[in-house]
């Protein structure tokens, strides 16, 4: 017997319903056992996404602090070079200042000696001039009353004038030398003052560079600490991700096993109802007014009131009356496997209901088999009918 449920336009489409197994529609949820697995899976997947988000944040921050570290190292290197150059310039200026101080001391000494020499010459010159003027000019009176001869007097007068001229020349030389020494001294003093100002500025710049270098080094220490923390956080997040992945893999394996439970129990499931099998899979139906071809399921000659049970846990996709088939229940067992039971006297389940293995879904009765005899049962994978006897275990 072929259930028209899969071909009748008014019926639900199993192909559409099968696609809803992993994308639940309204009123649909996972088969029994999966909810307890899916909930932690969803929670773990959510946690995994959060972990990945956290890792991305730390990776971004790690990249930022790494760039900061690189820039700081470059700045520190340049500051070190500037400080080295500044120290060289400062040492050179200090050496020049020391040289200027030494030269200035020499000039001061030379100036002091020149002034002393000038004073001596000045004193000799004053004495000579005083004596010369006291003697007066060599005239008739001097020649008359002098005991010296005229030639001697004239020679003495010339010699005295020569000494005076020499003293005057020497005095002028000392004066010129003093003027030159004063100019040189002033020049050295100005240069020393200028060098002192340069050195003061250089020392201040060096202090600023030292302070800036210390700030950069402190900042570098903080950046390196942040880098270590981000690296440690990434390491811990990576470890947590690996552990979470392992847990998810175990849960997924358990979920797959649960989904495959129907397949794994092939040949060991109890029949939906107790009774003699009167029609087998692929056989022609007997006593049917309209021939619809070979049976795509099996028929049980169940006693009146016999309990009809689910052969395996699943969710009820359809529970109701279908014209030509009577009361019908379709159960989704996962992975596109379905069991279909029809010609039931009574239905005990509702659409969307979870049923367990061996749970009562209805009852057999004489009224339900007025047109065709027995409880009809099919197993399908998607829309392909399968021989139920390969899936259930019949005692005896």
Q: Taking residues 302-306, what's their average pLDDT?
A: 93
Confidence of residue 83 (pLDDT cuts 50, 70, 90): confident
d(CA 312, CA 257): 14
182 against 132, higher pLDDT: 182
Residue 270 predicted with pLDDT over 50: yes
Confidence of residue 74 (pLDDT cuts 50, 70, 90): very high
Residue 310 predicted with pLDDT over 90: yes
Confidence of residue 64 (pLDDT cuts 50, 70, 90): very high
Q: For residue 289, what pLDDT is reported?
A: 37
Q: For residue 10, what pLDDT is reported?
A: 29
d(CA 395, CA 274): 10
Residue 187 predicted with pLDDT over 90: no
| Averaged pLDDT score across all residues of the chain | 79
Residue 329 in contact with residue 341, Cβ under 8 Å?
Answer: yes
For residue 346, the surrounding DSSP H or E stretch is strand 346-347
Please name the residues in contact with 315: beta carbons below 8 A apart, sequence gap of 6 or more.
28, 29, 30, 31, 32, 331, 332, 352, 353, 354, 355
Q: What is the dihedral of CA 144, 148, 151, 157, to 10 degrees?
A: -90
38 against 243, higher pLDDT: 243
Q: For residue 105, what pLDDT is reported?
A: 85
Judged by average pLDDT, the poorest of 66-75, 120-129, 261-270 is 120-129
Residues 285-294: tens digit of each pLDDT: 554 434 457 8
Domains of the chain: 58-242 (1.10.287.1700), 268-396 (2.70.70.10)
Alpha helix (H) residue ranges in 136-149: 140-145
Residues 141-158: tens digit of each pLDDT: 444 444 555 565 556 566
Residues 5-62: tens digit of each pLDDT: 443 332 333 333 333 333 333 333 445 556 677 788 888 888 889 888 988 998 999 8
Structure tokens at 128: 């000579």
Residue 317 in contact with residue 349, Cβ under 8 Å?
Answer: no
> Look-up: residue for tokens 């942040």?
226
**In a 10 Å sphere around its CB, with 0-12 CB exposed, 13-18 middle and 19+ buried, how is residue 34 labelled?**
buried
């Amino acid at each position: 017997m072929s259930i028209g449920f899969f071909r009748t336009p008014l019926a639900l489409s199993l192909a559409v319903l099968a696609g809803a197994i992993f994308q639940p529609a309204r009123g649909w949820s996972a088969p029994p056992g999966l909810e307890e697995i899916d909930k932690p899976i969803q929670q773990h997947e959510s946690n995994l996404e959060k972990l990945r988000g956290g890792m991305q944040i730390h990776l971004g921050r790690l990249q930022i602090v790494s760039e900061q570290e690189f820039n700081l190292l470059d700045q520190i290197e340049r500051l070190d070079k500037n400080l080295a150059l500044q120290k060289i310039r400062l040492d050179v200026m200090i050496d020049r200042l020391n040289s200027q101080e030494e030269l200035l001391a020499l000039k001061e000494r030379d100036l002091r000696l020149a002034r002393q020499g000038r004073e001596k010459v000045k004193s000799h010159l004053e004495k000579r001039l005083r004596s010369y003027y006291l003697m007066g000019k060599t005239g008739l009176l001097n020649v008359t009353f002098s005991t010296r001869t005229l030639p001697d007097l004239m020679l003495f007068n010339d010699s005295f004038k020569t000494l005076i001229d020499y003293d005057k020349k020497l005095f002028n030389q000392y004066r010129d030398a003093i003027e030159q020494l004063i100019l040189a001294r002033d020049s050295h003093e100005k240069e020393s003052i200028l060098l002192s100002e340069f050195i003061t500025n250089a020392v201040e710049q060096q202090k600023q560079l030292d302070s800036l270098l210390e700030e950069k080094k402190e900042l570098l220490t903080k950046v390196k600490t942040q880098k270590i923390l981000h690296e440690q956080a990434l390491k811990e997040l990576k470890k947590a991700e690996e552990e979470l992945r392992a847990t998810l893999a175990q849960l997924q394996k358990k979920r797959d096993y649960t989904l495959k439970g129907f397949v794994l129990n092939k040949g060991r499931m109890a029949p939906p109802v107790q009774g003699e099998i009167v029609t087998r899979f692929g056989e022609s139906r007997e006593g049917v007014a309209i021939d619809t071809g070979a049976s795509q399921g099996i028929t049980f000659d169940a006693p009146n009131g016999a309990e009809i049970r689910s052969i395996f846990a699943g969710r009820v996709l359809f529970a109701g009356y279908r014209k030509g088939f009577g009361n019908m229940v379709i159960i989704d067992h996962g992975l596109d496997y379905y069991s279909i039971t029809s010609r039931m006297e009574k239905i005990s389940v509702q659409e969307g209901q979870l049923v367990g293995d061996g749970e009562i879904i209805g009852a057999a009765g004489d009224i339900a088999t007025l047109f065709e005899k027995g409880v009809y049962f099919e197993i399908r994978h998607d829309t392909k009918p399968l021989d139920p006897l390969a899936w259930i275990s019949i005692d005896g």
